[in-house]
Amino acid sequence: MVRGLPIDAALMSDVLVQLRRDALGCPVAWTLGAHGSADLDAEFFPVPTALADASNPPAWTTTARLWDTDGLAVIHAVVELSVVGPDTCELIIRPELPLTPWWAARGPMLEALAQAALDELGEELLWHATRVGV
């Protein structure tokens, strides 16, 4: 799943610092209604590149867990945040490992859950981007 964010690339590092400070070392968790729930490690790490330039824009990564509505089936995921333009960033969520047969049989449910998790994270990042001092 992919979601674009209209955040100035120059602000992204500060936005991630604000998210990390608000999380106080704990995962950020969301209940996503009929989709399930998600928790995200707020410690986004820079993706190593030789240079951050037009051919290698800044990017960060972290991990998350997506839970079914019963809170029993979990999928471990990787969340990537990358700069794709001067005023645009992109969030991507993907499974960390191959899907278990249970999740593979529930593709549409997993897609809806992943999209809901990206939407919550996106709104959180947009909120942090509007705070004074960022």
Closest CA to 36 of 72, 76, 3, 63: 72
The reply to whether 103 falls in a domain is yes
Residue 21 in any domain: the answer is yes
- Cβ atoms of residues 64 and 38 within 8 Å: yes
Q: What is the pTM of this model?
A: 0.89
The model's pLDDT over 4-45, given as tens digits with 9 standing for 90+, comes to 999 988 899 999 999 999 998 889 999 999 999 999 999 999
Whether residue 134 lies inside any domain: the answer is no
- Count of domains for the chain: 1
**What Cα–Cα distance (Å) separates residue 71 from each residue in 8, 39, 75, 101?**
36, 12, 11, 17
Q: Does residue 84 form part of some domain?
A: yes
Q: What is the pLDDT of residues 37-52, one digit of tens each?
A: 999 999 999 988 655 5
State the residue range of the domain holding 118: 2-129
16 falls within a domain: yes
- The CB density around residue 105, as the number of other CB atoms within 10 Å, is 10
Beta strands in the chain (DSSP E): 2-5, 28-31, 37-40, 45-46, 59-67, 74-85, 88-95
The reply to whether 10 falls in a domain is yes
